[in-house]
Amino acid sequence: MDRIDKVICNQLGFTRKEVKRILHKKRVEVNGQIIVDSDYKVDIEKDDITLDNQKIEIKEYVYLVLNKPKGYVSATKDNKDKTVLELVPEKYLHRDLFPAGRLDKDTTGLMLITDDGVFAHEILSPKKHVPKTYLVEIDIPLTKEMQEGFQKGIVLKDGICKASALEILDTYQAKVTLTEGRYHQIKRMFGTYQAKVTELKRLSMGNFTLPKDLNEGEIRELTKEELSLIKER
């Protein structure tokens, strides 16, 4: 059982003081009964809680999808740069959100932001093999040699990268699929062929693809179906 004021703070992002005022104004009902006491206990699994007659949807965790623009770092705080958390709407900011996985400052595309640590571990752990696909542009023509190298696994300073698929789309453009996420991995993999990555965008994680209608800088909650697509492989 949880205190009603804590539940409303967590779900709607109000401060405790604001919730106290809301309760005193008799705007909250639990199972049809007006509640004014901040310490009234509720069962979030069973009780029907309303504010101004609107049901409060109880969410233990939130899962947000962002189409990351360039210029933002994948961190919760940074002294120098803007962070992806700055693109999160105010109403979610009372939660302990963090980016589930890193994209470089100049990388764009699919980024997940959540407060569910277990979920983040599940999709990021190399042991779970959730594939991540990227659209890549490099400054020299792509070659069969690169494709074969990626398939075998590229040797970097910190060990061999697992086999990854490189699908050549055009002279300079390819799709790369990774199942691990090392620091600057794609840039370093192409670096072994003296190629420089000029554009990098994450397109998908698991079977979930960046929604077409989500423009750069836009963010929204994932649906349950989308969430399960991410974990599929």
Which residues contribute to the site for ligand URA (CB under 6 A)?
103-104, 107, 184-187, 200
Q: Residue 133: helix, strand or coil by DSSP? A: strand
Between 15 and 125, whose beta carbon lies closer to ligand URA? 125
Tokens encoding 127: 């042991």
Between 100 and 200, whose beta carbon lies closer to ligand URA? 200
Question: Which amino acid appears at position 41 of this protein?
Answer: K
Between 104 and 137, whose beta carbon lies closer to ligand URA? 104
Task: Report, in Å, the least distance between residue 185 CB and ligand URA.
Answer: 4
- The β-bridge relationship of strands 108-114 and 197-205 is parallel
Work out the burial of residue 170: count CB atoms within 10 Å of its CB; fewer than 13 is exposed, 13-18 middle, 19 or more buried.
exposed
Q: Give the span between the Cα atoms of 87 and 107, in whole angstroms.
A: 15
Which H or E run contains 191? Answer: helix 185-191
Cβ 109 vs Cβ 203: under 8 Å: yes
Task: Report, in Å, the least distance between residue 206 CB and ligand URA.
Answer: 16
Between 181 and 211, whose beta carbon lies closer to ligand URA? 181
- Known catalytic membership, residue 104: yes
Tokens encoding 18: 């604001």
Between 11 and 185, whose beta carbon lies closer to ligand URA? 185
Task: Report, in Å, the least distance between residue 59 CB and ligand URA.
Answer: 29
Q: Catalytic one among 48, 78, 104, 116?
A: 104
Tokens encoding 103: 């994209």
Task: Report, in Å, the least distance between residue 186 CB and ligand URA.
Answer: 3
Task: Report, in Å, the least distance between residue 41 CB and ligand URA.
Answer: 45
Question: Which amino acid appears at position 46 of this protein?
Answer: K
Q: Give the span between the Cα atoms of 20 and 94, in whole angstroms.
A: 17
Where does 52-207 show beta strands of DSSP type E? 54-55, 63-68, 72-73, 82-83, 98-99, 108-114, 132-138, 155-156, 159-160, 165-168, 173-178, 197-205
Which positions are catalytic?
104
